[in-house]
Copies of this chain bind each other. A is one copy, B any other.
Amino acid sequence: MMQTQLNLTTMVKHAEKYFADKTVISRTLSGVHTIPYSKITERIHRLAGALKSLGVGKGDRVGTIAWNHHRHLEAYFAIPTMGAVLHTINIRVSPDDLAYIINHAEDKVLLVDEDLFPLIERVKDQITDVEKIIVMTDKEELPETSLTNIASYESLLEEADPDTELDDAIDENTIAGLCYTSGTTGRPKGVAYSHRGIYLHSLALGLKDTVGLSEEDIAMPIVPMFHVNAWGMPFAALWFGTTQVLPGPMPTPQILAELVEDYKVTMAAGVPTIWMGFLQALEQGNYDTSSLRCILCGGSAAPKGMIRTFESTYHIPFVHAYGMTETSPIVTLARLKSYQQELDEEERLELRSRQGMVVPGIEIRGINEHGDIPHDGNTIGELLVRGPWIADAYYKNDRSEESFRDGWLHTGDVVNIDEEGSVKIVDRTKDMIKSGGEWISSVDIENALMAHEAVFEASVIAVPDPKWQERPVACVVLKEKKTLTEEEVKEFLTPQFAKYWIPDRVLFMEEIPKTSVGKFLKRALRDQVEEMLSLSDSSS
């Protein structure tokens, strides 16, 4: 067979030739713009030319600090197809981490959104390798700034050669992308994505049995383009000629619901917190969401109650998936096998609230101290993952060996696997609660709590206990205008769990601390709970 390379240049060229008239709908600060792929691909050529003229060469890192919009999409393809590395930077990390990430990646050029410019100004004295900062704005003028090495994205494109060649011979193992995980401990760690990994992951997204991303879709990645490449959707969508709706800066649930209605979005992807907010918007407004054939949800476990509400109240099919920054991200997806369609509604919901089946191309194992766990839906073990779009190390980082051992990624997620091969995340290895020698899943209790009609969100953590080693404590945020007592919460949980699973304490809070990508930050929560409990102890 021909040794053609599995690279992003093939993907751009396909879109350029065959989907010139399909569109990208891009929300920027100046409004919502509909831009044909013919224009997007022309601008990809121009951006590649502009970056070359700034001295960006093969292997150089180009950082982006940007929302989901068409310029970011152009960067997604222009940077890798000139042989450079697209480094998407999480806008929600601390200034210290931001400087660390930029310096660790040795970014040579940064592409920064106008409204995110303050982030980079704040750390300007800390960053070491950046030679040029390109401002992405609809306006004629650049923002006022003390930075001197800035340029306008649009001016650069205007001057650049629209016929700049994209390199179609790029070796498929070349790094195309770089994304730092917002880990809950230590400095962020970089994950490098190869052209080959992105290409294969894109094919996986197009499979009918996974996401089935199609030319017919109008896809809205809500998950940020600075977070695991918006789950790889912009790559696959451009390749397949899918219409993309990119929701731009600070998309509120209302804005998202309007975009769905106005542009007849057929599939949208985001983390559970996004969908919780979206549900509230649907409750308050009167939006037509009938175009949605699929909501894709991952990043952390979606409560069963939420899945039920989307499907029975709003008739929006809800698809649960699992992955992480290290896995590009898709690893599993909860679809039913054909013969499982015959189960009753409750059983189907139960199965679909699991993380689901591993997608073709990826291999998984669950291991505990005895070896591989049986597929019995009960025994728990850590999830290991292997495959051509799974990272094999952190980027220039000696801590890689903790996670990458014996050819497998050790995810740190505790799972069981049922007879059909469907995975359920029970907890993070670090968040499991061991009480009296027995394991308690914090995630299971959290999901039960979040199914209560008065609960907005809930998180369960372990606190040290002299007798039982650890005991669960529940932290609950109530919905507006709702009340609930500690006793009522315990009574609600009692019929659902073994007695020793019921949290000893229920603490009501205004908010649960979260990571920059919306996951519960249990480390911070533990500190907070420790403080609350010691205060309540000392006051009692």
Contacts and interface: CB of A to CB of B under 8 A. Distances in A.
B240 A209 contact: yes
Contacts of A19: 337
Contact of A339 (B6, B21, B240, B392): B21
Interface in A403-453: 407, 409, 420-421
Contact of A337 (B204, B215, B386, B392): B215
A241 interface: yes
A2 B388 contact: yes
Contacts of A337: 19, 22, 215, 241
A391 interface: yes
B207 A207 contact: yes
Nearest to A409: B2
Contacts of A386: 2, 4
Copies in the complex: 2
A407 B22 CA distance: 30
A87 B420 CA distance: 34
A392 B10 contact: no
Chain A interface: which size bin? 35 or more
Contacts of A390: 1-2, 4
A231 interface: no
Contacts of A389: 1
Contact of A206 (B18, B197, B339, B360): B360
Given A1-B193, A390-B2, A392-B3, A18 B420 contact: yes
Interface centre among A208, A390, A407 (most CB of B within 10 A): A208
B208 A213 contact: yes
Given A2-B390, A4-B386, 8 more contacts: A1-B196, A2-B409, A10-B363, A203-B204, A206-B207, A207-B240, A208-B213, A216-B338
